[in-house]
Amino acid sequence: MQSFQFLVKEGKIKSMSPKNWSEAEVREYILYCKTLMSAADMVHEINALRQLLLFIDNPAVDLCLAHNPMLKPKFKGTRRKESMSDALYDLILERSRNIDSGDFHRVRAYALVMMAITTGTRNKEIRLANVEDVDTTMWTFDIIHVKGEGTYGLPRTVPLHPDVREILSLYLILRKKWLVDNNLNSHALFPSKDGADGYLSGNAIRRIKAVVEDDLDVKFDLRMCRRTFGQKYLDSDVDIESVSVLMGHAITKTTEGFYSRKRLNKAIDNSRNSWLSSGGQ
């Protein structure tokens, strides 16, 4: 948004809304981004802008790149970073099962982190979630406020893994009491006592996550939680197409390039198992 404001102020683009951009304005935006981003980030940014504009029938990105093919970096590497180690995940899970049931703030922190890991939610998606989005009968979580909401992003439903159910159930009980104690009426899954709309800010979500970091003397970010979600499902032999859908990606290339990919040892094991099942040697 700040980039848009700067370019409008400089007279490089006419509108704050990309849906009204021409090929020339897309070019100005890409040139500006080149001064701020790495090649990997540029590829991701251009792809996201293209997807957004195509959703509203604006081919400006495609036209721009067709006439200026050198604008898009030829990035052949990967931005995929490490997911959470099994040891760290097990540490968080074990601690979540042994918290003082009356410690609202610690229970909330572990519920949030376990939700982030086991549902693959982005900061915004968990921040704006409502308590009604959680179904503790079918054990599913409806993710409504997705990335690209209102344009290319589509709501999705993910299963609530058994590992999160215990701490989530405890949190939901304590959440009700906390709302009564603070004379609040909020639909937010993780409600705010200070926010005008009843929802926590993005920074507040990170501060709650930091309670777990401080408690265990470890460091991780929410994107690592999201990568771990994808990796654990792939390691459990869920196919990449299904994992991509659960993560809210339009194409599997995004999942593999930026988040998760089947580990080599799992690929080898799966190959050997397929040989055995087919009678091969």
* pTM assigned to the model: 0.70
For residue 250, what pLDDT is reported?
A: 79
- Mean pLDDT, contiguous 10-residue spans, the chain (281 residues): 74 82 90 80 80 84 89 66 90 97 97 97 95 97 90 88 97 97 95 87 95 97 92 86 86 72 52 47 46
For residue 141, what pLDDT is reported?
A: 97
Would you list the domain boundaries of the chain? 2-71, 86-231
For residue 185, what pLDDT is reported?
A: 92
* Cα 82 to Cα 102: distance, rounded to the nearest angstrom: 34
For residue 274, what pLDDT is reported?
A: 44
For residue 219, what pLDDT is reported?
A: 95
* Cα 137 to Cα 142: distance, rounded to the nearest angstrom: 13
The one-letter amino acid at 237: D
For residue 281, what pLDDT is reported?
A: 46
User: Does the domain spanning 86-231 belong to CATH 1.20.1250.20?
Assistant: no
For residue 275, what pLDDT is reported?
A: 46
For residue 79, what pLDDT is reported?
A: 61
For residue 125, what pLDDT is reported?
A: 95
